[in-house]
Amino acid sequence: MAGEELRGKNILVTAGPTIESIDPVRYITNRSTGKMGYAIAAAAAKRGANVTLISGKTHIDPPSGISKFISVESTLDMQKAVMENFDESDAIIKSAAVADYRPKDVASEKIKKSEGGLTIELERNPDILKELGEIKGSKVLVGFAAETNDLIQNANEKIKKKNLDFIVANDLTKEGAGFAVDTNIVSIIDRSGEITKFPKMSKDELANVIIDKVTLLLQK
Ligand code: C5P
């Protein structure tokens, strides 16, 4: 669905996993591939938006047609990039799977193995989306929730806690939903509490549904 509805609008999309170093060769990450966020960035660009894509490390190429691509590693890197690009954005779609914790101390040399176990102390990363919710103003703010249990209840709580316009909740227990597949099965929950359940669809189709909703909100 190509068009010009978003001409002149700046859309910021985050995608992929963040990674948190343990030492120079090891890190903690998650199973996000970036597919969903890249599909959203592509869908927004097709409608004429200026798209900035801030992405953790992925194995896929940035979509054509986007205006700016920023590659990041850690959650703190992502936070910095998002904050630097926040002011000029009309809508922010946070589909990145952000690491909630990082090793408290990053070893400057590779940790040598020994006979015993190894304990790595983790500390909290900032919740970027929650921080954006606090300064959102009239910008459109969209979050994702990937859950293995109490999907709708958790998503509802996140909308309030993070001050979002809507949240895309995917149930990781369903086959064809979530990480590393080309399809997703989601419910979209509005600020008003309205829940729309979608059947299994491709991430490209879902990206268009999300961009339709963002377009409507931007026109209000
Ligand atoms: O709380 P949870 O991680 O499930 O929330 C998911 C949403 O919050 C996603 O949109 C994700 O990009 C964002 N998030 C964030 N910073 C974090 C954790 C999650 O921006 N530290």
Kindly give the confidence (pLDDT) of every residue in the chain, 220 residues in length, as a single tens digit, with 9 standing for 90 and above: 567 999 999 999 999 999 999 999 999 999 999 999 999 999 999 999 999 999 999 999 999 999 999 999 999 999 999 999 999 999 999 999 999 999 999 999 999 999 999 999 999 999 999 999 999 999 999 999 988 788 888 888 999 999 999 999 988 888 877 787 888 899 999 999 899 999 999 999 999 999 999 999 999 8
**What span, in angstroms and rounded, lies between the C-alpha atoms of 157 and 153?**
6
The enclosing domain of 79 has a CATH number of: 3.40.50.10300
**40 Cβ closer than 6 Å to some ligand 1 atom:** no
* Residue 18 located in a structural domain: yes
Q: How far is the CA of 146 from the centre of ligand 1 (A)?
A: 9
* Residue 112 located in a structural domain: no
Closest CA to 58 of 88, 31, 98, 85: 31
- Distant-in-sequence, close-in-space partners of 106: CB < 8 Å, separation ≥ 6: 21, 22, 23
- Residue-level pLDDT at 133: 98
**What span, in angstroms and rounded, lies between the C-alpha atoms of 159 and 165?**
7
- Residue-level pLDDT at 181: 81
**147 Cβ closer than 6 Å to some ligand 1 atom:** no
* Residue 115 located in a structural domain: no
CB-neighbour burial class of residue 28 (10 A; exposed 0-12, middle 13-18, buried 19+): middle
Segments forming the whole domain that contains residue 167 = 10-101+122-219
**203 Cβ closer than 6 Å to some ligand 1 atom:** no
Q: How far is the CA of 30 from the centre of ligand 1 (A)?
A: 13
* Residue 2 located in a structural domain: no
**98 Cβ closer than 6 Å to some ligand 1 atom:** yes
pTM, whole model, 2 decimals? 0.94
* Residue 193 located in a structural domain: yes
Q: Which ranges of 15-126 would DSSP assign to H, the alpha helix?
A: 35-46, 75-86
Answer yes or no: 156 catalytic.
Answer: no
**What is the rounded (10 degree) CA torsion for 118, 124, 127, 131?**
-160
Q: Which residue among the candidates 10, 30, 156, 208 is catalytic per the annotation?
A: 30
CA 71 to chain CA mean position, Å: 14
**What span, in angstroms and rounded, lies between the C-alpha atoms of 107 and 171?**
36
- Residue-level pLDDT at 2: 62
Q: What residue owns the CA closest to ligand 1's atom 19?
A: 98
CB-neighbour burial class of residue 201 (10 A; exposed 0-12, middle 13-18, buried 19+): middle
**What span, in angstroms and rounded, lies between the C-alpha atoms of 165 and 117?**
45
Q: What is the number of structural domains in the chain? A: 1
ipTM of the complex: 0.90
Q: Is 127 annotated as a binding residue?
A: yes
